[in-house]
Amino acid sequence: MPKIMSLDELKSLRDNVKNKVDLREKGENVDEMVVIRVAMATCGIASGARDIMNYFADLIREENVNNIVITQSGCMGYCYAEPTVEVTLPGEEPVVYGHVTKEKAKEILDKHIKSGEMVDGIIPVAHKSIDE
Amino acid sequence: MSKYTMHILVCGGTGCISAQSNEIVEQLMFHINEANMSEEVQVLKTGCFGFCEKGPVVKILPDNTFYVQVTPEDAEELVKEHIVKGRKVERLLYVDPTTEEVVSDSKHMDFYKKQMRVALRNCGFIDPDNIEEYIARDGYAALGMALGMTQQEVIDEVKKSGLRGRGGGGFPTGLKWEFAYKNKADQKYVVCNADEGDPGAFMDRSILEGDPHSVVEAMAICGYAIGATKGLVYIRAEYPLAIKRLEKAINDAREYGLLGKDILGSGLEFDIEIKFGAGAFVCGEETALIHSMEGMRGEPTTKPPFPAESGYWEKPTNVNNVETFANIPVIFLKGADWFASIGTEKSKGTKVFALAGKINNVGLIEVPMGITLREVIYDIGGGIKDGKKFKAVQTGGPSGGCLTEKDLDTPIDFDNLLAKGSMMGSGGMIVMDEDNCMPAVAKFYLEFTEEESCGKCTPCRVGTKRLLELLEKITHGKGTMEDVDVLRELSQVIKDTALCGLGQTAPNPILSTLDVFYDEYIAHIKDKKCPAGECSALLQYIINDKCIGCTACARVCPVNCITGTVKQMHVVDQEKCIKCGACMDKCKFKAIIKQ
Ligand SMILES: Cc1cc2nc3c(=O)[nH]c(=O)nc-3n(C[C@H](O)[C@H](O)[C@H](O)COP(=O)(O)O)c2cc1C
Ligand code: SF4
Ligand code: SF4
Ligand code: SF4
Ligand code: FES
Ligand code: FES
């Protein structure tokens, strides 16, 4: 590790390592966060869930949105519709999208998360959050 | 770029490690690997969460799930259920003892609701062995800011915050720094006091174990402010984990250019060395501590001169406590005004307490100054164990005193506690219930100070011994009313004439209990009774009419003081009874009672 030679260098190191604790800082206030869960059971991973999850992470970093946490969940029981993504706005019921592509992911972020408009592709069941 | 989408934090504090938290980490990692999720899930070991009562603690983020009393065997289920399937493992969640409801998010636990974490901001949150996690939490940014200010500006900021020393005395920190700054010398020193000698205290240990960099950073800031290039941490050798983490922190800081020469390119030179203490209570006193670091006997010397004038090797030395230092970076990051907005008029910020004794939630807490004892004991502490009645709380350790029912609504701060005949001390808080005998409590502390007295001055060396003898007499039912007068008088003499703080404050537990629980002393002296039933010498074993005359007790009594014929009620000869309790254990009919 080369020595840090100025406050600016320290700040850029901080920005680079910020993501190490970011998830924890958001987690402390998870009630106020938008939570995106990508189903990462075997079937999800096989159909590209990991890419979708990384894509969400990249999008959020590019657009610098601070109120979103991305995490994974296990099998949501919709293997036929993988990759599936569950979106929970603060204080609202979760909504699950199926067959999520990168384009769909962008649409979910822009419309559903940013302005609260639902997007096509919702799996219309009396879905309950997997915590319950 | 870390792609982790879940973090599992496992408490790596001394308490939880002794309950196998290292094995829990290993098992979690193993099963995460098995589940092929090591790219998504990070497992890390943090400092103490404070909820040691229910350790080992495991916290999963981002959903902020708090698991308690986890064992290595639970790791598999946690991974397979929570991580893989996203289902919380109900049986390991915390259950609120009053509502009997499951609370999965620690934010909603009563234990945490009223707490405010400033000095402990990173404890239980970051991996203390990873400097980058500290940097991610704006670590060392305060040092960077301070280096952009003049020395006087740095001192003024600390003064403005209102921070007072957390080591017991409560002296204003900024003012202390200013004294050391103004004393000109070719060499000055910054010393961190991590001796932590109060029985039952573990605040400083937990900070060093959970967030060592906050202390390293603060010492560097202090070094800049007063013009010292050398720092020393005096720590007791019985704190191996804290020492290990601190050593790593110092080495990493050097490697990153945050200690050593030309720190952050500013030209500042500052480095830190660790000195080990043998764990004598008196070595926490700053002059004794300095002598001990110089390789001499750990005995106090009179002040003045204060260390700020003539300390380590007779050079200006600034001594602060671990927790005092841990507050410093935050004061710069969030501003002195922010810090000063917390607390009471003359006590700013927060205080860390180690809750112990007859309380449900034993552990480490941090609360804003000005919170009431009632909130600490009942809301955070969960009330008295086994539904017993609250009697008193001892603060300030062996130098402090007792607070009772009538003080429950007093806001806790330096001055209020002093006015109530106790003191803040370093933050030990021992809760007592109806079964605690107060003269015995005073005796406990006097045993400690008598043992720890360094013997240098007569009032303390001989005086504490005499005080202890008097207390022994009283708790054995052999005391007289004159003894009470002697206790009072001698206490005052010791307070006035002892050389250092140890002796000067040693009588406090006596004076405080005499004041508040005078009746209990009288009961021991006049009625030869211990109302709390704790002093075994004053108890009597009495056989009541449940006795069927089975003779079992008479046969077990080692001094043959139980008499009676078969099938007749037996009697204990109180004169001869040595109160061993053997008869009571033996009686199958619960006919023998202790009172
Ligand atoms: C007998 C005795 C024991 C002490 N033990 C400690 C201790 O363990 N830790 C500590 O920080 N201060 C202890 N002190 C207080 C120190 O002398 C000193 O005031 C303190 O370290 C200053 O730091 P602060 O201003 O940050 O509180 C003790 C004082 C006395 C008289
Ligand atoms: S007061 Fe006690 S501990 Fe302090 S110098 Fe005197 S003998 Fe030693
Ligand atoms: S053991 Fe109990 S019941 Fe038997 S003689 Fe003693 S007191 Fe009576
Ligand atoms: S307490 Fe011990 S000494 Fe006293 S009566 Fe019972 S057995 Fe005998
Ligand atoms: S040591 Fe684990 S919670 Fe305190
Ligand atoms: S040991 Fe960490 S506080 Fe119990």
> Whose Cα sits closest to atom 4 in ligand 4?
B577
Q: What angle do CA B310, B315, B321 make, to 5 degrees?
A: 75
Torsion angle of C-alpha atoms B19, B377, B167, B330, degrees rounded to 10:
80
Q: Which of B85-99, B102-116, B309-323 has the highest mean pLDDT?
A: B309-323
CB of B167 closer than 8 Å to CB of B321? yes
pLDDT at A30: 82
| pLDDT tens-place string over residues B353-377 | 999 999 999 999 999 999 999 999 9
| pLDDT tens-place string over residues B492-523 | 999 999 999 999 999 999 999 999 999 999 99
Q: Which of B84, B88, B257 lies at the smallest CB-CB distance from A3?
A: B257
Query: CB B62 to CB A33 under 8 A?
Result: yes
For B530-552, what is the mean pLDDT? 90
**What is the C-alpha to C-alpha distance for residues B168 and A12, in angstroms, rounded to an integer?**
39
pLDDT at B338: 98
pLDDT at B55: 87
Q: Is the pLDDT of residue B64 over 60?
A: yes
Q: Is the pLDDT of residue A126 over 60?
A: no
Distance B298 CA to ligand 1 centre (A): 14
**Those residues with Cβ within 8 angstroms of residue A111's Cβ, 6 or more apart along the chain or in another chain:** A117, A118, A119
Flag whether residue B574 sits within 8 Å of chain A, measured between CB atoms: no
Query: CB B136 to CB A7 under 8 A?
Result: no
**Those residues with Cβ within 8 angstroms of residue A124's Cβ, 6 or more apart along the chain or in another chain:** none
For B291-305, what is the mean pLDDT? 94
- Nearest to A84, CA basis, from A43, A55, A128: A43
Q: How many CB atoms lie within 10 A of CB B353?
A: 26
Supply B108's token pair.
């909603």
pLDDT at A125: 61
Q: Which of A10, A71, A131 lies at the smallest CB-CB distance from B5?
A: A71
CB of B498 closer than 8 Å to CB of B504? yes
For B219-230, what is the mean pLDDT? 98
Q: What angle do CA B101, B102, B106 make, to 5 degrees?
A: 120
CB of B262 closer than 8 Å to CB of B360? no
Q: Is the pLDDT of residue A113 over 50?
A: yes
pLDDT at B2: 61
Which residues in chain A are closer than 8 Å to B145, comparing Cβ atoms? 7
**What is the C-alpha to C-alpha distance for residues B218 and B220, in angstroms, rounded to an integer?**
5
pLDDT at B24: 97
pLDDT at B518: 96
What is the second-level CATH architecture of the domain A29-123?
A: 3-Layer(aba) Sandwich (3.40)
Q: Place A129 in a pLDDT band, splitting at 50, 70 and 90.
A: very low
Supply the DSSP string of B565-592, one letter for each residue: -TTS--EE-TTT-----HHHHH-TT--E
Supply A46's token pair.
């096989």
**Those residues with Cβ within 8 angstroms of residue A92's Cβ, 6 or more apart along the chain or in another chain:** none
**What is the C-alpha to C-alpha distance for residues B530 and B491, in angstroms, rounded to an integer?**
23
Q: Domain ranges in chain A?
A: 29-123
Average pLDDT of chain B to the nearest whole number? 94
Any bridge partners for residue A35, and if so which? Answer: A69, A88
Please give the domain boundaries of chain B with CATH numbers for all domains. Answer: 6-111 (3.40.30.10), 131-339 (3.40.50.11540), 350-433 (3.10.20.600), 438-526 (1.20.1440.230), 540-594 (3.30.70.20)
pLDDT at A128: 46
| pLDDT tens-place string over residues B23-42 | 999 999 999 999 888 888 99
- Nearest to B428, CA basis, from B368, B363, B490: B363
For A70-81, what is the mean pLDDT? 76
Instruction: State whether residue B18 is helix, strand or coil.
Output: coil
For B38-64, what is the mean pLDDT? 92
pLDDT at A72: 79
Nearest atom, ligand 1, residue B195 CA: 8
For A18-35, what is the mean pLDDT? 86
**Those residues with Cβ within 8 angstroms of residue B459's Cβ, 6 or more apart along the chain or in another chain:** B493, B494, B497, B498, B503
Percent of chain B with pLDDT over 70: 100
Which residues in chain B are closer than 8 Å to A88, comparing Cβ atoms? none
Q: Place B536 in a pLDDT band, splitting at 50, 70 and 90.
A: confident
**What is the C-alpha to C-alpha distance for residues B424 and B167, in angstroms, rounded to an integer?**
9
**Those residues with Cβ within 8 angstroms of residue B287's Cβ, 6 or more apart along the chain or in another chain:** B300, B301, B303, B307, B500
> Whose Cα sits closest to atom 3 in ligand 3?
B547
Q: Is the pLDDT of residue A79 over 90?
A: no
Assembly ipTM: 0.83
